[in-house]
Amino acid sequence: MYKPRVSILADTKKTEENQYRAKAIEAINSSFFQGVMSPSWYNDIDLWFKKYDFDEQVMLALFRYCFERSALHRNYIQTVADAWYKNHIKTFSDLDLYYQKEEKLNVLKKSIAKKLGLNRLLTQYEEAYIQKWVVDFSYSLDIIELALKKTTSKSNFSFDYIDKILSDWNEHHLKTVADVQKFLEEKKNKPYMIKELEKKSYQNYEQRKYDDLDSLYANIQKA
C-alpha cells in the first residue's frame, strides 16, 4: 500500500495535465465542431499532444488557425503542426514570437515586391528565396536592397540572379551594409589592381632582360 512521495507528486502532475488537455479538447469540440466531434478526432488530438508536446493553448491555436482558413481536416492540421514543431513551438509564448517573425517577414516581402515593381503576389518559390535571405542569411532589408539595385541594369532579372548575389555575400561572411560596400569597392578596383600588377611585372621583366644583355655584352668584350 506504500507509495513514495515522488510517485504521488508525479501522478498528481500527470492528472492535472490530463485535466487541462481534456478541457482543451472539449473547447475544440464546442468551438469548431458544434459539440459533435467524432471519437476519432479525440485520438488524433491526443496523439498530436504526445508527438509535438504542444501546450493546451497552442493546440487550440492550431485548430483556430486551420478553422479560419476553412481547412479543418487532418492532413492540413498535421502539415501546420509539423511546421510549428520545426520552428520549435511548444508554448503559446513560442507561438507569439513565431507570429511576430512571420509578420516582419510578410512586411519585408511586400517591400521587396514593391521595390522590384511587381504588381502581383509573389510566387511560392520567390517567397522561399526571401525566407532564405532573411532566416538563413540573417540579412536585413538594407543589405537585400543593395542586391536589388544590381537588377536595374538588367532588362530581365530573376530571383535566382538576386539569390546568387546574396549567396556570394553570405559565403564571404558579409553581415553589414558597411561590409558589403567595402567588398563591392574592392571588387570594382580589382581589375585596375591586376593591370597595375601586370604592368609592374612586365617592367621588371624588361629591365632584367636588358640588364642580362648588358652583362652578356660586357663578358663578350672581355673575352
Q: What is the mean pLDDT of residues 102-131?
A: 93
DSSP-H helix ranges across 135-176: 141-149, 159-171
Average pLDDT over residues 168-195: 84
The CA-atom distances, in angstroms, between 93 and each of 17, 58, 63, 119, 171 are: 18, 9, 17, 35, 34
Q: Does the pLDDT at position 3 exceed 80?
A: no
Q: Is the pLDDT reported for residue 2 higher than 90?
A: no
pLDDT, averaged across the chain: 84
Average pLDDT, integer, range 120-148: 94
Predicted structure pTM score: 0.64
Common-topology check for domains 1-90 and 92-175: yes
User: Hey, which CATH number is domain 1-90, 3.40.50, 1.10.287, 1.10.10, 2.60.40?
Assistant: 1.10.10
Residues 55-61 have a mean pLDDT of 96
Neighbour-count burial for 89-113, b at 16+ CB within 10 Å, e otherwise: beeeebbeeeeeeeeeeeebbeebb
- pLDDT tens digits, one per residue of 79-94: 999 999 999 999 999 9
Q: What is the pLDDT of residue 156?
A: 75
Q: What is the pLDDT of residues 29-52, one digit of tens each?
A: 999 999 999 999 999 999 999 999
Half-sphere exposure of 17 (CA within 13 A, CB side): 12
Q: At what angle do helices 141-149 and 177-222 cross, to 10 degrees?
A: 50
Domain range annotation of the chain: 1-90, 92-175, 182-223
Question: 92-175 is classed in which CATH architecture?
Answer: Orthogonal Bundle (1.10)
Q: What percent of the chain has pLDDT over 90?
A: 67
* Higher local confidence (pLDDT), 143 or 203: 143
